[in-house]
Amino acid sequence: MTTATVKKIVIPTNLTNQSLNLIKYGIQIMKGETCQIILLHLIPLPDSIPELLMLPREEERLEKINTSFNKALDRIRKSYAVEISSLEVMHLYGDSSPKIRNFIDTKGIDLVLCPVQAGRNTDDNTLDSFTRIAKDISCPVLYIPDNTPAQSFRKITYVLDTDDRYTLLLDDLLLNLTAGNDYYITFLVVFKPGTNMEKLEYVLNKVYLNEKLKQINCSVHLIQENDFTGGVYTFVEEFKADLLVTGRKKSMFGNIFSRKRISSDVAKHTRVPFLTIA
């Protein structure tokens, strides 16, 4: 008898009830999987030694005073008792990219959720800071625009770039999302004017000749645009999408993380969640 693998998800929190809204999206992506969710609270390191020594007490204070937040956590644990094996808050001192990367790698995280805010929150920019830092991590990241209504990811658009021969076509996360009959995938191929036909044929063959895709409800949509993001914007303006997806093979060299920067910007502009697999 095989033991089911528990998927580990990191979600940033500023210890407000509003920051818990991202949890439902993590469960959507890991449909049918049991999840261990870590709510990561970043605590910037102070400049002075006395303030540094007081950090453990500050952590204890936050745990005690946030009664409303803790009650909300209990409600979520009860509501998602099957989907969530554990839901805990972890405090991380420091807000640098290496600190976050080390945490993600050490914990073996499978997915990171990032809020994408239309405007910066002047009262507490913890979530905004986390999103900027998370662009430099290597695991899949799901960018969620603020005030996005909760819905199932049924209409999925997988973006393919003819200029990137290492673009992923299928990934376990995508296959998991499409495990059922209530979804439809559009493979969006963005190509520049004057693109060599061999490049276009290479991408199209990856779709049409893939055996796994023969069992999936899908189609191909071609858009000619000067840049990658422009093609995505054009598509989203005309067609409805519940989720945008893009991916790149981990083993290949290149600017993998630039795709995450693009995804964050696209999610903010289109108001559509964007899953980036790297």
Contact 136, 101 (CB under 8 A): yes
* Residue 140 identity (one-letter amino acid): P
Q: 126-133 and 97-107 helices cross at what angle (nearest 10)?
A: 70
1 occurs within a structural domain: no
d(CA 87, CA 36): 6
Q: In what order do the strands lie in the sheet with 155-161?
A: 84-93, 35-43, 7-12, 111-116, 141-145, 274-277, 243-247, 155-161, 184-191, 218-224
pTM of the model: 0.85
For residue 28, the one-letter residue type is Q
278 band by pLDDT with thresholds 50, 70 and 90: low
Residue 83 confidence class, pLDDT cut points 50, 70, 90: very high
8 A C-beta contact, residue 10 and residue 109: yes
Considering the domain architecture, whether residues 12 and 135 belong to the same structural domain is answered as yes
Residue pair 90/39 in contact by the 8 Å Cβ criterion = yes
For the chain, how many structural domains are there in total?
A: 2
Q: Over the stretch 185-236, which tens digit does the pLDDT of each residue have?
A: 999 999 999 988 998 998 898 888 888 888 888 899 999 998 888 889 999 9
Q: Does residue 150 lie in a domain region? A: no
Q: For all residues of the chain together, what is the average pLDDT?
A: 81
Higher local confidence (pLDDT), 192 or 250: 192
Three-point CA angle 84, 90, 95, nearest 5°: 130
Residues 141 and 160 in one domain: no
Q: Is the pLDDT of residue 33 over 60?
A: yes
55 pLDDT tier (thresholds 50, 70, 90)? low
End residue of a domain, out of 145, 170, 186: 145
Same-domain check for residues 110 and 165: no
Angle between helices 228-238 and 258-270 (to 10 degrees): 30
Predicted pLDDT of residue 66? 65
What is the torsional sign of CA 134, 254, 29, 31?
A: negative
Distance CA 35, CA 45 (A): 30
**What is the DSSP secondary structure assignment for residue 248, as one 8-state letter?**
B
Domain boundary (116, 145, 174) is at: 145
Q: Report yes or no on 86 lying in a domain.
A: yes
pLDDT given at position 78: 95
**What pLDDT, on the 0 to 100 scale, is given for residue 32?**
80
Asked which of 145, 171, 199 is the last residue of a domain, the reply is 145
In a shared domain, residues 16 and 36: yes
In a domain, 278, yes or no: no
Give the N- to C-terminal CA distance of the chain in Å, as an integer. Answer: 31
If asked whether residues 102 and 193 sit together in one domain, one would say: no
Residue 120 and residue 161 in one domain: no
140 and 230, same structural domain? no
Residues 18 and 125 in one domain: yes
Residue 17 domain-assigned?
yes
Residue 277 inside a domain? The answer is no
69 CB neighbour count, 10 Å cutoff: 19
CATH at residue 110: 3.40.50.620
- What percentage of the chain has pLDDT greater than the value 90? 28
- 3-state SS record for 156-190: EEEEEECCCCCECCCCHHHHHHCCCCCCEEEEEEE
Summarize the confidence of residues 57-84 as an average pLDDT.
80
Report yes or no: 164 and 227 within 8 Å, Cβ to Cβ: no
**What pLDDT is attached to residue 123?**
46
Residues 13 and 140 in one domain: yes
Is the pLDDT at 65 greater than 60? The verdict is no
**Range of 123's domain?**
7-145
User: Are 79 and 97 part of one and the same domain?
Assistant: yes
pLDDT at 111: 92
pLDDT of residue 172: 74
Whether 191 is covered by a domain: the verdict is: yes
Give the C-alpha separation, 130 to 136, whole Å. 11
**24, pLDDT greater than 70:** yes
Average pLDDT of 248-277?
70
Q: How far apart are CA 77 and CA 51, in angstroms?
A: 34
Residue 58, SS3 per DSSP:
helix
The pLDDT-based confidence of 51 (bands split at 50, 70, 90) is: low
User: What's residue 251's pLDDT?
Assistant: 44
Within a domain: 47: yes
Identity at 256, one-letter amino acid code: I
Percentage, residues of the chain above pLDDT 70:
79
Closest CA to 145 of 241, 33, 230: 241
CATH number of the domain encompassing residue 188: 3.40.50
Give residue-wise pLDDT tens across range 101-152.
889 999 999 999 988 876 555 445 667 778 777 767 878 889 998 877 767 8
Domain match, 49 and 141 both: yes
